[in-house]
Amino acid sequence: MSELNKLSLREARAGLREKKFSSVELTKACLSAISERDGDINAFVKVTEESALEEARGVDDRLAAGEKMSALAGIPVAVKDLLNTKGVTTTCASPILKDFVPPYDAEAVSRLRNAGMVMVGKTNLDEFACGASTEHSCFGVTKNPHDLERVAGGSSGGSAAAVAADMCIYAIGTDTGGSIRQPASFCGVYGMKVTYGRVSRSGVTAMASSWDTIGPLARSVGDIADVLGVIAGRDELDSTTPDVAVPDYSSFLDKGVKGMKIGLPKEYFGEGVEEETVKIIKEAVLELEKQGAELVEISLPMTKYAVAAYYISMPAELSANLERFDGIRYGKKPSSDPEDLVDYYFKARGEGFGDEIKRRIMIGTYVLSAGYYDAYYKKAQKVRTKIIEDFNKAYEKVDVIIGPISPFPSFKIGELVDDPLAMYTADALTIPASAAGVPSLACPVGAYHGSGLPVGLQIMAPQFEEGRCLQVGSVLESA
Amino acid sequence: MLSEEEVRHVAKLARIDLKDSEVKKFSEQLSGVLDYMDILKEVDTEGVEETSQVTGLKNVLGGDNVAEARCKREELLECSELPVDDNQIRVKPAIK
How would you label A308-324 residue by residue, b for 16+ Cβ within 10 Å and e otherwise? bbbbbbbbbbbbbbbee
Instruction: Give the mean model confidence (pLDDT) for residues A49-57.
Output: 98
Residue A280 to residue A457: CA distance in whole angstroms: 9
Does the distance separating the beta carbons of A344 and B55 come in below 8 Å? no
Q: Side-chain half-sphere of A309: how many Cα atoms within 13 Å?
A: 34
User: How far is the alpha carbon of A322 from chain B, nearest alpha carbon, in Å?
Assistant: 10
Residue of B85, B10, B23, B46 lying closest to A379 (CA atoms): B46
Give me the pLDDT at residue A233, please.
Answer: 98
Look at residues A138, A144, A175, A126 and name the one whose alpha carbon lies nearest to residue A413: A144
- Angstroms from B62 CA to nearest CA on chain A: 8
**Mean pLDDT across the stretch A401-422?**
94
Does A373 contact B at CB distance below 8 Å?
no
Question: Using one digit for the tens of pLDDT, what is the confidence trace for A350-373?
Answer: 999 999 999 999 999 999 998 999
Q: Using a CB–CB cutoff of 8 Å, tell me whether B76 touches chain A.
A: yes
User: Which CA distances in Å does A156 have to A14, A235, A361, A406?
Assistant: 28, 23, 20, 15
Q: Would you call A371 an interface residue with chain B, using a CB distance cutoff of 8 Å?
A: no
* Domain coordinates in residue numbering, chain A: 1-479
Does residue A381 sit at the B interface (CB-CB below 8 Å)? yes
Contacts of A312 in chain B (CB under 8 A): 37, 40
Element (H, E) at A191: strand A190-193
Please report which residue ranges of A65-202 form alpha helices under DSSP H.
107-114, 157-164, 181-187
The whole-number pLDDT of residue A2 equals 64
DSSP code at position A199? B
Query: Which pLDDT band, with edges at 50, 70 and 90, does B95 fall under?
Result: confident
Strand, helix or coil for residue A122 = strand
How many C-beta atoms lie closer than 10 Å to residue B64's C-beta?
A: 5
The sheet carrying A213-218 orders its strands as A44-47, A118-123, A76-80, A170-175, A213-218, A190-193, A440-447, A454-460, A400-404, A261-265, A294-298
Average pLDDT, chain B: 94
Pairing of strands A190-193, A440-447: antiparallel
Task: Report which DSSP code applies to A235.
Answer: B
Is B86 inside a domain boundary? Answer: no
> Which residues on A lie below 8 Å from B87 (Cβ)?
none
Decide if A196 and B55 are in contact by the 8 Å CB cutoff.
yes
pLDDT over 60 at A48, yes or no: yes
Is residue A1 over pLDDT 70?
Answer: no
Among A240, A308, A424, the residue with its CB nearest the CB of B53 is A240
pLDDT for position A399 = 98
Integer Rg of chain B from CA: 23
pLDDT digit string (tens) for B65-83? 888 889 999 999 999 999 9
What mean pLDDT do residues A432-437 have? 98
- Please tell me the distance from the alpha carbon of residue A388 to that of residue B93, in angstroms, as a whole number: 48
Q: Is the per-residue pLDDT at A324 higher than 60?
A: yes
Q: What is the pLDDT of residue B63?
A: 84
Full DSSP string of A382-422: HHHHHHHHHHHHHHHH-SEEEEES-SS-PPBTTSSTT-HHH
Domain that holds residue B36: 4-41
Interface test with A, best of B16, B27, B42, B74 (most A CBs within 10 A): B16
For A266-276, the pLDDT digits (tens) are 999 998 899 99
All residues of chain A having their beta carbon less than 8 Å from the beta carbon of residue B57 are 197, 239-240, 242
Candidates A311, A382, A388, A417, partner chain B, best to mutate (most B CBs within 10 A): A382
Cβ atoms A368, A316 nearer than 8 A: yes
Mean local confidence (pLDDT), A309-332: 97
Please state, rounded to an integer, the average pLDDT across all residues of chain A: 97
**Confidence band for A119, pLDDT divided at 50, 70 and 90:** very high
Is residue A198 scored above 90 in pLDDT? yes
Beta-ladder partners of A213: A175
Q: Would you say residue B29 lies in a domain?
A: yes
Element of type H or E holding A45: strand A44-47
Residue B33: which of A311, A319, A347 has the nearest Cβ?
Answer: A311
Instruction: Report chain A residues whose CB lies below 8 A from the CB of B81.
Output: 327, 331-333
- Mean pLDDT to the nearest integer, A450-456: 96
Smallest CA-to-CA distance from A123 within A164, A71, A75, A72 is with A164
pLDDT > 70 fraction of chain B, expressed in percent and rounded: 100
- Whole-number percent of chain A with pLDDT over 90: 96
Band (A418; pLDDT cuts 50, 70, 90):
confident
| Partners of residue A150 on adjacent β-strands | A412
CATH code of residue B9: 1.10.20
Average pLDDT over residues A412-434: 93
Nearest Cα to Cα of residue A38 among A115, A122, A119, A95: A122
Kindly report, residue by residue over A64-111, the tens digit of the pLDDT.
Answer: 999 999 999 999 999 999 999 999 999 999 999 999 999 999 999 999
**In this structure, are residues A86 and A51 in contact, taking their beta carbons and an 8 Å threshold?**
no
Contact of A432 with A440, CB cutoff 8 Å? no
End-to-end CA distance of chain A: 28
A311: which chain B residues are within 8 Å (Cβ-Cβ)? 33, 36-37
The span from the CA of A384 to the CA of A113, in Å, is 36
pLDDT one-digit tens code per residue, A219-228 = 999 999 999 9
Verify cis geometry, omega within 30 degrees of 0, for the bond prior to A137.
no
CA distance A69 to A374: 53
* Distance from C-alpha of A344 to C-alpha of A334, rounded to nearest angstrom: 7
Name the residue among A61, A164, A159 with its Cα closest to residue A119. A159
Half-sphere exposure of A35 (CA within 13 A, CB side): 7
Angstrom distances, CA of residue A53 to CA of A20, A30, A75, A278: 18, 11, 11, 44
Nearest to A201 by CA among A109, A291, A296, A125: A109
**Amino acid identity, residue A298?**
I
User: Cβ contact (<8 Å) for B45 and A386?
Assistant: yes
CA A64 vs. chain centroid, Å, equals 34
In a domain, B59, yes or no: no
| pLDDT of B96 strictly over 80 | no
Active site residues of A: 80, 155, 179
Question: Computed over its alpha carbons, how large is the radius of gyration of chain A?
Answer: 21
pLDDT of residue B44: 98
CB A185 within 8 A of CB A456: yes
> How many percent of chain A have pLDDT more than 70?
100
Phi, psi of A24 (to 5 degrees): -65, -45
Please give the single-letter amino acid code of residue A39.
Answer: G
Mean pLDDT, residues A444-452 taken together? 96
Q: Are A149 and A107 in contact (CB under 8 A)?
A: no
Average pLDDT over residues A170-178: 98
Q: Where are the beta strands (DSSP E) in A258-314?
A: 261-265, 294-298
Asked if the structure places residue B96 within a domain, the reply is no
Considering only the beta carbons, identify the residue of A302, A319, A327 that sits closest to B14: A319
B96 touches chain A (CB under 8 A): yes
Whether the full predicted model's pTM is greater than 0.80, yes or no, is yes
pLDDT recorded at residue B62:
82
| Spatial CB neighbours of A67, under 8 Å, sequence gap ≥ 6 | none
A469: left (phi over 0), alpha (psi -120 to 50) or beta: alpha
At the topology level, CATH places domain A1-479 in: Amidase signature (AS) enzymes (3.90.1300)
Return the amino acid letter for A429.
Answer: L
Is B24 a member of any domain? yes
Q: Is B53 on the interface with A (CB under 8 A)?
A: yes
